[in-house]
Amino acid sequence: MKLEIGNIHVKDVVLGSENSFADGVLTIDKEAAISYLKGEDDHITDLDIVIAHPGDDTRIVPVIETIEPRVRMDGRTLFPGVTGDVVPAGDGELKALKDCCVTVVGKEWGSFGDGVIDMGGEGAKHTRWSEIINICLVGDTDEEFERHEQQKCNHALRWAGHRFAEWLGKIVKDVEAEDTETYVFDPILKRDAARNELPNVAIVLQPQSQMEALGYNDLWYGWDMNKFLPTYVSPTEVFDGAIISGSFMPASSKWSTYEFQNFPLIKELYKHDGVDYNFVGVIMSNLNVALEQKERSAIMVRDMAINLGVDYAIVTEEGYGNPDTDYVRCQVVLEDAGIGVVGVSNESDGRTGVGQPLVVLDEKLNALVSTGNVGELTELPACKTVIGNLEAMNRDGMSGSWGYDEVLGKSARDDGSIIMEDNNWFCGDHISGLSLKTMKEF
């Protein structure tokens, strides 16, 4: 499989009366975009587009999703089973608008898995989104049945975000790419002798799939991953829209669709493929709830790895808490099979940083990479501009904020300042490998 992504670097985004791209400036016909998106889903009752730039004194909350705008040159849908028919992904040509993202924001209502982005000040250091232009799609819907629920599917707005990313991508379909990323994934059984002499390395991804009620989980070709079993897939499929983010997972622990499209851990494996090791692909696993389900998935991952001849593996989970059981068990069974493992996840050490980092631990976990502590407290002053609704932090059960604490008070204060846990930064721990954080030893 061969995937070519032609990158078009965006220097600025402005709203206007027509769509165009010139001299690095993307101009969006705002009214046409809103008309299109409302026409695709009559559940959307209110919609606006607001641009947030790096360095702006702007706080965005509640953030639902981020997506990289792209277009497929052959006309196939960008997100199979979501924005169009179920079609193959993982090969062909794309163009991507770099240095920007579609950021889906609730105008009024937040959810457990929604988060915060600060574009400037001290808060900007917590997420990568502060470094790129956020094309904020701010909306409300008539999905009254979940309005006062802590868990929300946010279906209409999430789907609007993916449609908008595809709509924006079409603006640059005829623009010449400035540079091209090429990812070739050769059939495992047809690789040359030199490649086959190298150690075999795979990555195991454990996307969010805990919710037995459908509509909250990550989707694979539009298929709810709660019904998914571990499967061998091409890394190019991950880059190419085969998987999109779900609505359920504490915000800092999520993999947004943008992160799947650009998964840095997989890109890093590609850099050394054929030189230091033979990258044999992705084992896409899951995160279910019952112990029997967890054991079944771990066994299936193990068996696939053995049959692929994997010598070393990276295992990484989306989330923490209950998923830690899957994450740890998967590493243990691989180690027991003689496969060396590195685990990548965030941890939950509590507000003081001295708690047990994972729900389950095992002495065989001897190579773990931490991307952050979800319980770490952050206190920040008010921002000049809020995109969305700051009150959602107090009212809607977002994972790292609260409406009352007998010591700390409420998360969003009357003066606009905030106090919250790391949990609430949108994809802030960037477990995909996109993280800004480093570890220090004391």
Cα–Cα dist 273/198, whole Å = 9
Residues in the chain: 442
Encoded tokens for 330: 């998967």
DSSP letter string, 302-363: HHHHHHHT-SEEEEEESSSSHHHHHHHHHHHHHHHTT-EEEEEEEE--TTTT-S-SSSS--T
Planar angle of CA 345, 349, 352, nearest 5 degrees: 145
Q: Could you read off the pLDDT of 146-190 as tens digits, one per residue? A: 998 999 999 999 999 999 999 999 999 999 999 999 999 999 999
Are 113 and 250 in contact by the 8 Å Cβ rule? The answer is: yes
What are the beta bridge partners of residue 44? 141
Spatial separation of the C-alpha atoms in residues 240 and 93, rounded to whole Å: 10
Tokens of 351: 């507000």
The answer to whether the CB of 256 falls within 8 A of the CB of 244 is no
* Domain positions in the chain: 2-424
Q: What is the mean pLDDT of residues 205-232?
A: 96
Are 305 and 335 a contacting pair, CB within 8 Å?
A: no
What's the mean pLDDT in 252-262? 97
Mean pLDDT, the chain, rounded, equals: 96
Provide the percentage of residues in the chain whose pLDDT is more than 70. Answer: 100
pLDDT confidence bin for 436, thresholds 50/70/90: confident
- Give the closest residue to 244 by CA, choosing from 218, 225, 211, 226: 218
pLDDT of 441 above 80: no
Closest residue by Cα to residue 370 from 320, 415, 331, 334 = 320
Nearest to 423 by CA among 375, 351, 379: 375
How confident is the model over 353-383, as pLDDT tens digits?
888 999 999 999 999 999 999 999 999 999 9
Q: HSE on the CB side for 135, CA within 13 Å?
A: 32
**46 to each of 8, 156, 164, 344, 362, how far by Cα in Å?**
30, 11, 15, 39, 49
pLDDT at 219 over 70: yes
Residue 265 CA neighbour count, 13 Å, CB half: 27
pLDDT for the residue numbered 442: 67
The per-residue pLDDT for 435 is: 85
Contact indicator for 394, 403 with CB cutoff of 8 Å: yes
In one-letter notation, the amino acid at residue 172 is V
Scanning 211-290, the segments in alpha helix (DSSP H) are 235-239, 257-261, 264-272
* pLDDT single digits (tens) 87-145: 999 999 999 999 999 999 999 999 999 999 999 999 999 999 999 999 999 999 999 99
In degrees and rounded to multiples of 5, residue 33 shows phi and psi of: -65, -45
* Dihedral over alpha carbons 58, 410, 64, 175 (to 10 degrees): 10
Residue 438 has pLDDT above 90, yes or no: no
